[in-house]
């Protein structure tokens, strides 16, 4: 789990196959980038390749630079979420729910847009509280 990050429903992300920025329709888990970059944590430069190649995730198996169709097809499948990885009743699930409720990405985006337009200090304080 320490190698994963969560992209939450409503977060703005880059959709690589369409080269566009979109809001996620659902939560997904992703392998963390190396040193705060987008380079996969398991990519090794010399010799070039994947250090977990035989155990790589399904999306990595579907990835082909010459044909994005198999990867796009993966978008239609159910993806793992935090609740899939944590057993029922795990104390982190309650924390996840509380965080999702208090800091909804869609609401945060709306508030940030409002600040850009008005510089309203009350809205800035709401964002700070989130």
Determine phi and psi for 13, rounding to 5 degrees. Answer: -140, 160
Task: Report the DSSP beta bridge partners of residue 50.
Answer: 43
- So what's the pLDDT on residue 90? 93
Residue among 72, 75, 96, 62 at smallest CA distance from 25? 75
Q: Identify the DSSP state of 40.
A: B
Say how many C-beta atoms besides its own lie within 10 A of residue 82's C-beta: 18
For tokens 């992703």, the residue is 30
- So what's the pLDDT on residue 52? 92
| Tens digits of pLDDT across the chain (130 residues) | 889 989 998 898 888 777 899 989 889 898 888 888 888 899 988 888 899 999 988 888 888 778 888 888 887 778 888 988 899 999 999 999 999 889 998 888 888 888 888 888 888 888 888 8
Determine phi and psi for 30, rounding to 5 degrees. Answer: -145, 150
CA-to-CA distance for 47 and 56, rounded, in angstroms?
Answer: 17
């Amino acid at each position: 789990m320490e190698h994963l990050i969560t992209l939450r429903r409503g977060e703005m992300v880059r959709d690589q196959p369409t080269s566009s920025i979109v809001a996620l329709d659902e939560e997904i888990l992703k392998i963390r980038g190396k040193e705060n970059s987008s380079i996969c944590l398991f990519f090794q430069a010399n010799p070039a390749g994947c250090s977990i190649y035989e155990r790589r995730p399904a999306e990595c198996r579907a990835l082909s630079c010459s044909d994005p169709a198999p990867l796009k097809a993966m978008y239609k499948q159910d993806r793992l979420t935090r609740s899939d990885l944590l057993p029922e009743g795990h104390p982190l699930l309650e924390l996840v729910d509380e965080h999702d409720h208090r800091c909804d990405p869609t609401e945060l985006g709306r508030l940030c847009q409002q600040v850009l337009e008005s510089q309203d200090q009350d809205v800035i304080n709401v964002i700070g509280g989130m």
